Amino acid sequence: MYHIRKAQLKDAEAIAHIHVESWKSTYKDLIDKQDIDGISVENRIALWETVLKKAVNGQVVLVATDESGKIIGFISGGKERTKEYGYDAEIYAIYLLDEYHRKGVGTGLLTHFVQHIRQSGYGSLLVWVLTQNVNKKFYERYGASPIQAEETTIGKGTYKEIAYGWPDIDALSSLLEDKKQSSM
């Protein structure tokens, strides 16, 4: 069982560890080793402390915790950053510890995040995913459609990524609620 709550400043270090550990695990076969090795817990702690002290663009960070209160995953997002695609909200990051994949935690994080952004007045949502990342099926399962593909630079490498979008946040919310009801 897991619980989802809004992140607090004291969570920055745990979020950073999950960010780095999950990032390295997820991208080990997709990104050059030198680019993977370029991400550090220390840099991510500084990033998450900054985000949690003063959110920009209406950014929200939610964490999933296990029964003991240990943080096992997080989702972060807010206002869509490019303003180029006609979507108003964006998932900036969603990561889980490997042992919590396919246990409903990601869906729980997405569900709570969608509830939050709906209450904040957002009507649509997008997320960027590396094209080769098999986890993009998670978004497809919940009705996200490809919007745009482009290249991104990570470290010294250039990689292809794709934006997936939900033009109607209410439809996504209904789908998530239906999935939740059918799994009970």
CA dihedral of residues 124, 83, 138, 6 (deg, nearest 10): -70
Taking domain 3-182, whether its CATH number is 3.40.630.30 is answered by yes
Q: What is the residue whose two structure tokens read 């946040």? A: 169
Please give the model's pTM, rounded to 2 decimal places: 0.93
What pLDDT is attached to residue 183? 61
The one-letter amino acid code at 1 reads: M
Burial 107-131 (b: 16+ CB within 10 A, else e): bbbbbbbbbbbbeeebebbbbbbbe
Q: Where are the domains of the chain?
A: 3-182
Q: Are strands 89-96 and 60-65 parallel, antiparallel or unpaired?
A: unpaired
Per-residue tens of pLDDT for the chain, all 184 residues: 899 999 999 999 999 999 999 999 988 888 888 888 888 899 999 999 999 998 787 899 999 999 999 999 999 999 999 888 999 999 999 999 999 998 999 999 999 999 999 999 999 999 999 999 988 999 999 999 999 999 998 888 898 999 999 999 999 999 888 776 666 5
Tokens representing residue 40 in the block: 């550090």
Q: What's the CA gap between 3 and 15, in Å, rounded?
A: 15
